[in-house]
């Protein structure tokens, strides 16, 4: 196998990362909470010899007009309850689940992860988040969501406690579960540089990804860690088609799935303001947004709304852009073109692999496994078959 191997994670979220994906999927919405739905996707991913499947954690639901609307909630299961069930119906693929260091207890987390590492024979990783959303606090009987610095300070002590607990236990199959992190702010990157073995990142294009990876690698070296021992994996949202035209038609079809009312509510929820009175074809109301509660509290940066070109998009344009997959890199093209893009990013030093975020999973996952993986395999960029049995082994990470 070539030394420029591309690690592949599959980030599963509801029916897909397009918030309207439930309108297209052959799977009824209520089946999202069934093991069978996830089992089918896991079997595809394992057939493609992917490194891992990733599950996020969402500790609150979006509000619309002061109500929690069913259509707004991302259907989600507790990742570390789902993972052992999926490990029982798969053999080799790894699983990464998210647990918050702000809203859980380190000793309980240490035991839970150690248990799953044993039951899965070393196939588990932990995405360590501090939880960005202030709405989570009320769900945990906390009056206030702690500020970012406080959350990351707690996270540092939390990880230390968990690792000490692990070291006091009988040896685990992969030594310790793999530590994953995705921090984009200075505090988040600093935390990741100290504790992460896999970093999930957001990179809108290749050159930005190169700069970001170089920055993270310099930070790793600064804290005395070997940058070669850490996997940096930006998200990518592929939309495939047999021809470019077909791929663009699929993209247009996915955009049609979106429900403007739901999108407006999600945007409103992010900023804590009501966007329903603004015209879709007028530029985003930046002056009003700068006064929005979650901007004033420092949770949201309005600069992020402005396009790459420095222009303020219209509300409608912004929603269409968001619909693709938030800030992650979106890709529309043929399987050959996607393999080329992955190869190109990897050769340029933009990443060590990708976190795949399909807009509609029931279509994207089998298409990727059947059409893109064989091309990457032929080029020696991904494995022919699993050579290792643990997640740590798949990713080529050393044992702690
Ligand atoms: C691929 C990816 C997955 C993430 N999953 C979660 C998650 O499940 N739960 C969560 O609270 N935050 C999640 N985050 C958010 C990050 O943990 C982090 O809070 C965010 O990137 C902002 O960075 P900061 O905390 O440094 O400001 C995720 C981020 C990325 C890029």
pLDDT digits (tens, 9 = 90+) for 333-344: 999 999 999 999
In this structure, the answer to whether residues 354 and 309 fall within a common structural domain is no
Residue-wise pLDDT tens digits, 241-269:
999 999 999 999 998 888 787 788 888 88
**Ligand 1 site, residue 132, Cβ cutoff 6 A:** yes
Question: Could you tell me if residue 51 is left (phi over 0), alpha (psi between -120 and 50 degrees) or otherwise beta?
Answer: alpha
Has residue 145 got a pLDDT over 70?
yes
Mean of the pLDDT values across residues 285-290? 95
Has residue 69 got a pLDDT over 70?
no
Distance CA 25, CA 364 (A): 11
Distance, CA 152 to ligand 1 centroid (Å)? 12
**pLDDT score at 306:** 86
**Ligand 1 site, residue 35, Cβ cutoff 6 A:** no
In this structure, the answer to whether residues 252 and 370 fall within a common structural domain is no
In this structure, the answer to whether residues 184 and 332 fall within a common structural domain is yes
In this structure, the answer to whether residues 75 and 138 fall within a common structural domain is yes
Distance CA 53, CA 58 (A): 17
Mean of the pLDDT values across residues 316-321? 84
Domain of residue 106: give its range: 7-243+328-394
In this structure, the answer to whether residues 12 and 106 fall within a common structural domain is yes
Q: Which residues contact 18 (CB under 8 A, 6 or more apart)?
A: 254, 257, 258, 323, 324, 325, 359, 360
In this structure, the answer to whether residues 313 and 173 fall within a common structural domain is no
Residue 251 · residue 240 · CB < 8 Å: no
**272, 290, 323: which is the final residue of a domain?**
323
Residue 383 CB-half CA count within 13 A: 19
Helix (H, G, I), strand (E, B) or coil at 82: helix
Q: 55: domain CATH number?
A: 3.20.20.30
Residue 121 · residue 92 · CB < 8 Å: no
Residue 28 falls inside a structural domain: yes
DSSP state of 397: P
Residue-wise pLDDT tens digits, 39-67:
999 999 999 999 999 999 888 776 655 66
Residue 1 falls inside a structural domain: no
**Ligand 1 site, residue 266, Cβ cutoff 6 A:** no
Distance, CA 129 to ligand 1 centroid (Å)? 6
**Ligand 1 site, residue 270, Cβ cutoff 6 A:** no
Residue 399 falls inside a structural domain: no
Number of residues in the chain = 400
Q: How many domains does the chain have?
A: 2
CA 330 vs. chain centroid, Å, equals: 14
In this structure, the answer to whether residues 60 and 174 fall within a common structural domain is yes
**pLDDT score at 352:** 98
Has residue 70 got a pLDDT over 60?
no
Residue 271 · residue 300 · CB < 8 Å: yes
Residue 106 falls inside a structural domain: yes
- Nearest atom in ligand 1 to the alpha carbon of residue 235 is 1
Residue-wise pLDDT tens digits, 343-367:
999 999 999 999 999 999 999 999 9
In this structure, the answer to whether residues 182 and 121 fall within a common structural domain is yes
**293, 323, 353: which is the final residue of a domain?**
323
In this structure, the answer to whether residues 42 and 15 fall within a common structural domain is yes
Of all protein residues, the one whose alpha carbon is nearest to atom 14 of ligand 1 is 182
**Ligand 1 site, residue 234, Cβ cutoff 6 A:** no
**pLDDT score at 128:** 98
In this structure, the answer to whether residues 270 and 384 fall within a common structural domain is no
**269, 296, 323: which is the final residue of a domain?**
323
In this structure, the answer to whether residues 122 and 175 fall within a common structural domain is yes
């Amino acid at each position: 196998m070539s030394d420029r191997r591309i690690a592949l994670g599959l980030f599963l979220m509801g029916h897909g990362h397009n918030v309207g994906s439930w309108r297209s999927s052959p799977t009824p919405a209520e089946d999202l909470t069934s093991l069978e739905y996830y089992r089918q996707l896991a079997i595809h991913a394992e057939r493609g010899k992917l490194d891992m499947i990733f599950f996020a954690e969402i500790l609150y639901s979006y509000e619309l007009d002061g109500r929690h609307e069913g259509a707004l909630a991302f259907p989600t299961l507790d990742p570390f309850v789902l993972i052992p069930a999926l490990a029982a119906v798969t053999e080799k693929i790894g699983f990464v689940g998210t647990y918050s260091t702000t809203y859980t207890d380190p000793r309980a987390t240490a035991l839970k992860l150690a248990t799953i590492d044993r039951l899965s024979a070393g196939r588990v990783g932990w995405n360590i988040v501090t939880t960005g959303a202030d709405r989570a606090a009320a769900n945990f009987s906390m009056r206030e969501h702690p500020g970012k610095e406080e959350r990351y300070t707690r996270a540092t002590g939390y990880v230390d406690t968990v690792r000490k607990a692990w070291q006091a236990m009988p040896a685990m199959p992969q030594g310790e579960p793999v530590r994953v992190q995705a921090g984009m702010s200075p505090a988040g990157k600093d935390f990741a540089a100290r504790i992460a073995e896999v970093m999930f990142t957001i990179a809108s294009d290749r050159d930005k990804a190169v700069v970001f990876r170089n920055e993270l690698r310099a930070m790793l070296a600064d804290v005395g860690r070997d940058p070669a021992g850490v996997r940096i994996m930006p998200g990518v949202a592929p939309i495939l088609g047999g021809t470019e035209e077909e791929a663009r038609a699929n993209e247009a079809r996915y955009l049609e799935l979106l429900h403007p009312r739901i999108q407006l509510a999600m945007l409103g929820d992010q900023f804590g303001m009501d966007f329903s009175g603004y015209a879709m074809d007028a530029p985003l109301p930046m002056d009003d947004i700068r006064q929005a509660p979650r901007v004033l509290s420092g949770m949201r940066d309005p600069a992020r709304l402005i396009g790459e070109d420095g222009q303020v998009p219209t509300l409608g344009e912004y929603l269409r852009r968001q619909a693709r997959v938030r800030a992650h890199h979106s890709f529309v093209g043929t399987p050959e073109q996607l393999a080329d893009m992955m190869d190109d990013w990897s050769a340029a030093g933009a990443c060590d692999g990708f976190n795949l975020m399909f807009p509609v999973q029931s279509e994207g996952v089998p298409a990727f496994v059947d059409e893109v993986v064989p091309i990457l395999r032929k080029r020696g960029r991904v494995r022919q078959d699993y050579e290792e049995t643990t997640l740590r082994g798949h990713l080529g990470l050393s044992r702690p």
